[in-house]
Structure 1
């Protein structure tokens, strides 16, 4: 329990830096975490700065450690703060989408539903939480994951404004606003030419091809790296 609770704390610190950078002109989470990782006391693992953690182990063990401490007469603030911050990340990203997307016109596509790449598990999946938050706000949604069984995401897949895509090609043909929520290899291989002209791609993992940064076919927004224009839009100020 203590080990996994510590891992959640480290991941959440990096995710906090990513959110601060997303709101700060010219800030870059990768430069900050890269510098932190050069110190051997920190190390470069688990400090990517992106969407929050999930899965069957880390959330469970962090909460279990908190409960264990409480049962033994101590109420530590850190595990609960980490859990609360982690659960707030999908809401923050949904708020950012509100500043960029048009509910009346855009079809929002969430690419990836599993809690991490290369797994079919969607237990406590932050991409699913993000999709739920956006669906609740009334967006017309498409969801895609090459590995996750749609039955595992429960009521989300049965909402009237949510469509489970049968293929990535279907998403690219119909979508206009894309969120890379799980960095599956199939998504990182996409090029700007695969998207409709004028689409927006919000990359929570900054995992897409470098060509996205030097083109104007689509608007490419990297969570944790913000230019002045993106900050204004994500803050809802324009």
Structure 2
């Protein structure tokens, strides 16, 4: 198939590369000429394992990038993957997506009288937004609107494993109003799903996007419940991980998402839960459980800082922050738990030195005045305390690097350099005043 992908962020770039790898001819469309140039050179503007390899393999062959919408009218399917940022009240801003949808419609105004086209919304939008984007496409298309169907195909990609998630999905959801559109999507995904028994869920477009929101809201709530239980365990001196290992044996609970810690971040869970809360309130419903999930998550970084306060006054002291990305495997710092941790340290007048394997440059834009180390060992060198915020594998193997930390005077009541671990990635060892967040 000939496929156009409008928008080249995390979702759009992954989608374009993976569809090209599945054998489709793909045109990536983006307004940013620098992003377009990078894609045509086989490079991603984001850090995502496996993505550069696909881009370098298919750029100039099955995959090309452009700032023009000319390819749309000659293609079979157009995906809209424009970002939908949050408004201050948590609702989503459809401005950029609506503009791209209308421009896509304008490109499709030249459809032949006997031609049909499928526009697929892959951006994350609430159910009322489907009608808004459909209207924008049809408004741009004019008299060709009756030959354009707008469907939804929500994404369930995890940053850090997006390529693998696309290739081996747990499910694929098609939100369509016709058998024709569903068949076209099934044909598009056939080379991806061939030989697999992946469930395909067919629903109307609005139900399909609600599946995405409910999916993420459930996982976010599970994380917050586990963190809340972990906080309770900590008050009794009980290791929450031992408790969670046991309850995970229950088939009704499962072992997934039971690692308590400093909370969730990223571009999906916080944004999607906030959008669903705002949409529910617009309908007159108060989503109390979702509100509680957000409250618990927002409180975890402060609990981490309070544990630090229990050991030492960090005013004027060098404090290492290990991990800046919201999760390992990505350079994305959006809603990273490192942000409130660093803000809290600065409010305590600490001297912050931070390290992350890949997210330093993104963090530098947010915190230009703190120090950034070139290694975890460099961050620990001379630090009186360290806070572990992201569970990068390399943090589990620091060992002797902690010997370069400094202990404050015994009058401060500290038995050694302080390590507050928010991800259970560092091993307890002699010579450290070690605290796990929920263990």
1:195 partner SS: helix
Instruction: Kindly report which structure 2 residues correspond to 1:214-225, keeping only aligned pairs within 5 A, or say none.
Output: 215-225=429-439
Name the CA distance, whole Å, in 2 between partners of 1:217 and 1:39.
38
Q: How far apart in 2 are the matches of 1:22 and 1:106?
A: 27
Partner residue, 1:29: 240
Deviation at 1:54, TM superposition (A): 0.5
Alpha carbons 2:320, 2:353 under 8 Å: kept:
yes
- Equivalent-residue separation in structure 1 for 2:359 and 2:389 (angstroms): 13
| 8 Å Cα contact 2:308/2:418 also seen in 1 | no
The answer on 1:40 being equivalent to 2:251 is yes
Q: Show structure 2 runs of 5+ residues with no match.
A: 1-212, 407-415
Aligned to 2:314: 103
Instruction: Give the structure-2-normalised TM-score.
Output: 0.47
Residue 208 of structure 1: aligned partner: 426
Superposed, which structure 2 residues align to 1:154-193 within 5 Å? 154-158=365-369, 162-192=370-400
| TM-score, normalisation: structure 1 | 0.84
Is 1:134 aligned with 2:345? yes
Provide the residue aligned with 2:357 in structure 1.
146
Instruction: Tell me the SS of whatever aligns to 2:367.
Output: helix
1:76 corresponds to: 287
Relative distance call for 1:193 and 1:70 in structure 2 (3 A) is closer
Q: Does 1:54 align with 2:265?
A: yes
Between Structure 1 and Structure 2, how many residues are aligned? 217
Contact preservation (8 Å) 1:128, 1:153: no
Q: Which has the larger radius of gyration?
A: 2
Structure 2 partner of 1:236? none
Provide Cα deviations, 1:139-169, integer angstroms capped at 9, x if missing partner. Answer: 12111111103344544332xxx32223223
Evaluate the alpha carbon distance shift between residue 193 and residue 164 of structure 1 in structure 2; reply closer, same or farther with a 3 A threshold.
closer
CA offsets 1:175-222 (integer angstroms, 9 cap, x no match): 12111110111111111564336322221121124xx3xx42222222
Distance 1:177 1:69, change over 3 A: same
CA separation of 1:169 and 1:31: change in aligned 2, threshold 3 A: closer
Cα RMSD of the aligned pairs, angstroms, is 1.8
Structure 1's consecutive aligned runs of 4 or more residues displaced over 4 angstroms after TM superposition are none
**Which structure has the higher relative contact order (CA within 8 Å, separation 6+)?**
1
TM-aligned CA distance change 1:70 to 1:106, over 3 Å: same
Q: Is the 8 A contact 1:151 1:157 kept in 2?
A: no
Could you say if the C-alpha distance between residues 112 and 193 of structure 1 is closer, same or farther in structure 2, counting changes exceeding 3 Å? closer
Q: Is the 8 A contact 1:180 1:203 kept in 2?
A: yes
Residue of structure 2 equivalent to 1:18: 230
CA deviations 1:122-154 (Å, max 9, x no partner) are: 000012211111111211211111110334454
Q: In structure 2, what is the equivalent of residue 8 of structure 1? A: 220
Q: Tell me which of 304, 316, 333 is aligned to 1:122.
A: 333
> Is contact 1:108–1:141 with CA below 8 Å preserved after alignment?
yes
How far did residue 60 of structure 1 move?
0.8
Q: Is the 8 A contact 1:150 1:164 kept in 2?
A: no
TM-fit CA distance, 1:93: 1.1
SS at match of 1:220: strand
